[in-house]
Structure 1
Amino acid sequence: MSKLVSDIKSGIKGVQGAGDAIRGSAMEVTDQALDNNGNHPQTQLSQAKNRSITEKGKQDMAGVDHMVARHEQKHGKHTAGAAAPAATTTAGTTGGGGGCEL
């Protein structure tokens, strides 16, 4: 049960990371569009904060992406062999009427 809770928490972290990446990017664009003085200390501080939010969001998403890839790789080895025969077709074989076998 704790693995399930951990996976859910990781998924939520990925969703939050996506939101942070979007929010940080949107705020950067807004600052660029509305700010007349890019050299003002407050502007530079705001830009750095927005870049930080964007990068943390991207890192969170990448972490979840790596976790999902590890999960698929771990479980894919067990299911790939079993799933392969169900996906094959027998079109054009003799005696089968040339249909698709599921």
Structure 2
Amino acid sequence: MSHPRTKTLIIDQHDESIPLIRLRFVEIDGTLYHLAKDVGAAIGLKADDDGDYRQTLEGYRVEYLMSTVSDRGTVLGPLALITDEDYRQLAKVVRQSRTPSTL
């Protein structure tokens, strides 16, 4: 499967010590799918050797699609894509795992 266009959301914290966050996504049959490459980097996950996050996603039991996408004419892929819902759940789990216990 190949998707000819991505949409990009850029988050700027207006603080030079915090880098911009870029999240690219595609819409497939009415569902938003984020590039795992962007999501993983944004929430601090460990990338695979090829820069994607398939092994990490599998470790968190997050289902993903493999697809080729294009960003401003540059073909990217194959890349792992995850739903918006899975992205939010993954970010929540990662945040919780990094919060020190208050026992």
Could you say which TM-score interval applies, normalised by the shorter chain? under 0.3
Is the strand fraction higher in 1 or 2? 2
TM-score if structure 1 supplies the norm length?
Answer: 0.26
TM-score if structure 2 supplies the norm length?
Answer: 0.26
Q: Name the larger-Rg structure.
A: 1
